[in-house]
A and B are shown apart, each in its own frame.
Chain A
């Protein structure tokens, strides 16, 4: 396998390559702008209007409005940048992580308390290891 095929072989994982960084640049720059409290206020007042200020694709904007973190990642978003969105929403990293796994917040928290998700069967799509 080529290196990128190897990276894409890891189940449930999107590795933030330079190519994805290029595709997600505007989305991630929008996220970065939420470091500023006045920008957070403007975004919360009218999310759509704030998003229109950024040269993002419509799909990226819709993913933000839907708070669909996995979709944002597919469209070039990076988790540390996306974290600015859920920080703005007053949500914890654990709540956002639970959402990305499709688990309830309670079930996800219980899984973590019991030692987290085992890598068994989640190392490689191809080998199933």
Chain B
């Protein structure tokens, strides 16, 4: 069976991708951000996951306001890099895992999560910046990716509780895939930030630290955070943190925290990053 070995959470700030693409990762401004991922890059080079189920949100790239799926899963062979208004990022195209993705879609829908199936989809910084942070500049991504897009652009996004339960269903779905695969689940976005209006620039470090702590210590405490609380405390775009809960729901209730990183600012945003090992899925068959 496919195994979930670990979960990764990380912010996906577009300016991080732009800094990397311009070769500015050693600059005074950006080096503290990239240094927070040095350990992670070494770790993942040893882990060599076969597939990442990557929970992210689209930012007006694949989805206009014509159709707004709450949960969408990418079942294509590959995913092209979107032009977000300044040309596509110069990164490799993303290679999918259609057999696993189709199995997940079928399993999730029968498990009462009404997924939208994407047989063609462009992916934007929400998906590519996490890959860049974890793998650096590469000719080809060393992992196959199942994109799972969550609407956080159009209010309301799915609740944190719903996202956590989707993660639990994802866990059942991955475990029922016959092939022996080392799967990681990544939850991206956040942490506190607001990009719009006179309150732009909001950062709430106590909220973020408590969230990081509870991801492993007390995830149940995070499931009940209301949208209003995210909006008030973590900013209008901080509500993206619900996507971290999909990742958490997919892991073993008891995890081991391997790495934690937090930094303010990256452009307008607080960067948070966690690696949780999910024990109990057994060794490779």
Contact = CB atoms under 8 A, between A and B. Distances in A.
B265 A113 contact: yes
Nearest to B236: A13
A40 B194 contact: no
B64 A28 contact: yes
B198 A102 contact: yes
Contacts, number: 157
A70 B198 contact: yes
Contacts of B192: 116
A74 to B, nearest CB: 9
B87 interface: yes
Interface in A99-117: 100-102, 108, 111-113, 115-117
B60 A81 contact: yes
A51 interface: no
A14 B196 contact: yes
Contact of A84 (B85, B197, B204, B264): B85
Interface in B82-114: 82-87
B15 interface: yes
Contacts of A93: 14-15, 195, 267-268
Nearest to B270: A116
Contacts of A83: 59-60, 84-85
A88 B86 CA distance: 6
In this complex, which of A11, A88, A119 has the most chain B Cβ atoms within 10 angstroms of its Cβ?
A119
Interface residues of A, number: 58
Q: Is the interface of B mostly helix, strand, loop or mixed?
A: loop
Given A21-B65, A32-B60, A92-B267, A97 B200 contact: yes
A15 B238 CA distance: 12
Interface in A16-74: 16-18, 21, 24-25, 28-29, 31-32, 34-37, 40, 69-70, 73
Contacts of A69: 196
A31 B203 contact: no
B203 A115 contact: yes
A111 B200 CA distance: 11
A64 to B, nearest CB: 14
A35 B84 contact: yes
Contacts of B153: 16, 78, 80
A10 interface: yes
In this complex, which of A15, A17, A90, A113 has the most chain B Cβ atoms within 10 angstroms of its Cβ?
A15
Interface of B: 14-15, 59-61, 64-66, 68, 82-87, 153-155, 192, 194-205, 207, 228, 231-233, 235-237, 264-265, 267-268, 270
Given A101-B198, A112-B203, 13 more contacts: A13-B199, A24-B65, A79-B195, A83-B60, A93-B195, A97-B268, A100-B197, A101-B197, A108-B201, A112-B201, A112-B264, A112-B265, A119-B207
What 3 A-B pairs come out closest when comparing CB atoms?
A116-B203, A87-B85, A12-B199
23 contacts: A3-B228, A18-B154, A21-B65, A21-B154, A32-B65, A40-B85, A70-B198, A83-B85, A87-B84, A92-B15, A97-B196, A100-B198, A100-B200, A101-B197, A101-B201, A112-B203, A112-B265, A112-B268, A116-B192, A117-B202, A118-B203, A119-B207, A119-B235
